[in-house]
Structure 1
């Protein structure tokens, strides 16, 4: 496929896996568990010294399962949430680029989404994250980024619990869900950047022509495999 924007990629993955998602991951809880397994697979690969090729595939799967969760909410404003929390020219906490935040940082100030970002490809999003957060994340390392990624998944799970909206409106709950999914996506990009993995290339290699398992443009597979990968470990 010829990817132009992140929205194009989302539509492509929905065409490939939408039916399989509806049949075998029919609710948000199922999809969240699938996402958690994918993130765990990435950390397991990093811990065991898996090859860059295999880590690229694992990160591509984490992207696909994040977008699977987005898909479950229909027209949730996911790209707009990304642009509001991760603007093109600064960190929303320290208001600088590159980011100079300490671990205990000021409260964020959301910005109005820039329309330019709505036409960004995944590659452009990765480049923007690298420019804003890349140096600091490199210093902290992949394990730090993975810890943050797991934390964001936990926050997303918490929003699915009864009473998570604290009596707020449906619009506010939907916004909060979009922001949590944006954070999961952002920390997945952070892990890829720290590992020097071209995330867009990884996603297109795995899913650009359809399902990487059945090799069909519209996936004909059944249940999802939630087991950890058997890594081709690098020789040391």
Structure 2
């Protein structure tokens, strides 16, 4: 039986460097806003969505390849950055949206550890 992969804890990473560079979801969205908002706004939501989908495709390829860990991490970061970009253009606070939908448990079964049938999309 395989174990579910867990995100690295701060105890298992280079704590000093990791904690200095750690960002909340709101902080990350603000960084992306500061870096790219002017360009993102002029591109619009449709153009931004197309870039997001391209990055999702690159992540798909990296997951399928599964040999280059650094590339996989970069593709996850790119997808998150483009999601934050779309949220900025659409005026959505990701941290608020995620908290509202998921902090109290699964949106469907309302459990902290989802008990939904695998066929259901929570």
Out of 190, 204, 223, the residue aligned to residue 99 of structure 2 is 204
Is 1:225 aligned to residue 121 of structure 2? Answer: yes
Which secondary structure state, in structure 1, belongs to the residue aligned with residue 114 of structure 2?
coil
Give TM-score scaled by structure 1 length. Answer: 0.42
Indicate the residue corresponding to 2:24 in structure 1: 121
Task: Give 1:114 deviation, angstroms.
Answer: 7.6
Is 1:131 aligned to residue 27 of structure 2? Answer: no
1:128-154 deviations in Å (ceiling 9; x for gaps): 111111111011011111111110111
- More helix as a share of residues: 2
Which secondary structure state, in structure 2, belongs to the residue aligned with residue 124 of structure 1?
helix
In structure 1, what is the Cα distance between the partners aligned to 2:99 and 2:38? 26
In structure 2, what is the Cα distance between the partners aligned to 1:157 and 1:132? 26
Is 1:156 aligned to residue 59 of structure 2? Answer: yes
Indicate the residue corresponding to 1:195 in structure 2: 90
After superposition, the Cα gap between the structure-2 partners of 1:133 and 1:114, relative to the gap in structure 1 and judged at 3 Å, is farther
1:65-106 deviations in Å (ceiling 9; x for gaps): xxxxxx57x64xxxxxxxxxxxxxxxxxxxxxxxxxxxxxxx
In structure 2, what is the Cα distance between the partners aligned to 1:160 and 1:211? 25
Is 1:216 aligned to residue 111 of structure 2? Answer: yes
Highest RCO, 1 vs 2 (Cα 8 Å, sep ≥ 6): 1
Indicate the residue corresponding to 1:185 in structure 2: 80
In structure 2, what is the Cα distance between the partners aligned to 1:221 and 1:114? 34
Unaligned runs of 5+ in 2: 9-16
1:1-31 deviations in Å (ceiling 9; x for gaps): xxxxxxxxxxxxxxxxxxxxx6xxxxxxxxx
Task: Give 1:225 deviation, angstroms.
Answer: 2.8
Which secondary structure state, in structure 2, belongs to the residue aligned with residue 209 of structure 1?
coil
Task: Give 1:179 deviation, angstroms.
Answer: 0.2
